[in-house]
């Protein structure tokens, strides 16, 4: 049964996931109120290619920049779980985020299996958790969903998601994000509420309970970084025709990318659970 705290959180999240341009509501916080001191653990599962790292930073830096722009009070602790560097417990940080990765969550790697166990520990705790791309997929897998290589092939460039109209926290609105993935969540975990979808990626985002938020897209990517990464991978990982179409998307200045809006949602999702 839903308690008053859960109802209040849903009301706040309904505002936070509003489309850009929607009217203000009583749940809007002032800038001063947004500066909330909070320790966030980034579970780093991948890296920016070395040839692009000097210009763009590593993916943990991208994530910290995205979230920190909306709450300067965040303090970030990085755990390179891809090197088997894990926190001692879910209580070590006040909130958690799992990054993107070149790996698939169904690969039989010791650190991935350990990460899945840690996800269940976080899910059983009172800490919020966010998953981006691989993070979205591995959370779904760990909590009983199914992830596999999509028959649709590579999703690169930009994708426009529809925020589910039947979700208690998201109005129906189309938002566009950077994407770079081949795997997809084919079956959501039990109890997951789908909050984002597209024709290419039907299961693009979930809210699981009130403390786990996942998204297939890469809100931490800058458009320029996605463009450079795709040029590096064209003809190597990504077929030429798919890459060319995506590069044209990224070069089209009329296509607006909503990364900052999603960064605000993620930041406020975490701070809504601050102690």
DSSP string, the chain: ---HHHHHHHHHHHHHTPPTTPPP-TTPPPHHHH---EEEEEE------HHHHHHH--HHHHHHHHHHTT-TTEEEEEE-GGGT---S-GGGSSEEEE---SS-TTS--HHHHHHHHHHHHHHTTT--EEEETHHHHHHHHHTT-EEEE-TT--EEEEEEEEEPTTSSS--S-EEEEEEEESEEEEEPPTTEEEEEE-SS-S--EEEETTTEEEESS-TT--HHHHHHHHHHHBTTTB-HHHHHHHHHHHH-TTS---HHHHHHHHHHHHHTT--
- Structural domain boundaries of the chain? 4-148+184-220+258-271
Dihedrals phi, psi of 180, to nearest 5 degrees: -165, 90
* pTM listed for this prediction: 0.87
pLDDT in tens, the chain (275 residues): 445 555 555 544 554 444 333 333 323 344 444 589 999 999 999 999 999 999 999 999 999 999 999 999 999 999 999 999 999 999 999 999 999 999 999 999 999 999 999 999 999 999 999 999 999 999 999 999 999 999 999 999 999 999 887 654 555 588 999 999 999 999 999 999 999 999 999 999 999 999 999 999 999 999 999 999 999 999 999 999 999 999 999 999 999 999 998 999 999 999 998 87
Residues tagged active-site: 133, 218, 220
Architecture of domain 4-148+184-220+258-271: 3-Layer(aba) Sandwich (3.40)
Neighbours of 20 (CB within 10 A): 11
């Amino acid at each position: 049964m839903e308690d008053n705290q859960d109802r209040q959180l849903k009301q706040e999240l309904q505002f936070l996931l509003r489309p850009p341009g929607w009217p203000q509501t009583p749940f809007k916080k002032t800038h001063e109120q947004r500066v909330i001191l909070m320790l966030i653990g980034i579970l780093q599962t991948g890296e920016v290619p070395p040839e692009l790292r000097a210009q763009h930073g590593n993916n943990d830096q991208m994530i910290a920049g995205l979230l920190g722009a909306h709450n300067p009070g965040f303090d970030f602790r990085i755990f390179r779980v891809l090197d088997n560097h894990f926190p001692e417990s879910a209580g070590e940080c006040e909130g958690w985020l799992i990054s993107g990765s070149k790996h698939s969550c169904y690969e039989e790697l010791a650190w991935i299996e350990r990460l899945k166990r840690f996800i269940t520990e976080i899910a059983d705790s009172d800490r919020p958790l966010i998953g981006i791309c691989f993070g979205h997929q591995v959370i779904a897998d760990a909590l009983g969903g199914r992830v596999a290589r999509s028959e649709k092939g590579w999703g690169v460039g930009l994708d426009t998601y529809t925020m589910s109209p039947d979700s208690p926290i998201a109005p129906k609105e189309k938002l566009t994000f950077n994407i770079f993935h081949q795997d997809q969540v084919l079956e959501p975990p039990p109890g997951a509420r789908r909050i984002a979808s597209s024709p290419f990626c039907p299961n693009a985002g979930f809210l699981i309970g009130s403390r786990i938020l996942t998204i297939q897209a890469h809100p931490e990517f800058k458009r320029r970084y996605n463009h450079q990464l795709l040029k590096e991978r064209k003809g190597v990982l990504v077929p030429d025709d798919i890459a060319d179409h995506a590069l044209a998307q990224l070069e089209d200045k009329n296509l607006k990318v909503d990364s900052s809006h999603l960064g605000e949602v993620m930041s406020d999702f975490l701070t809504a659970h601050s102690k």
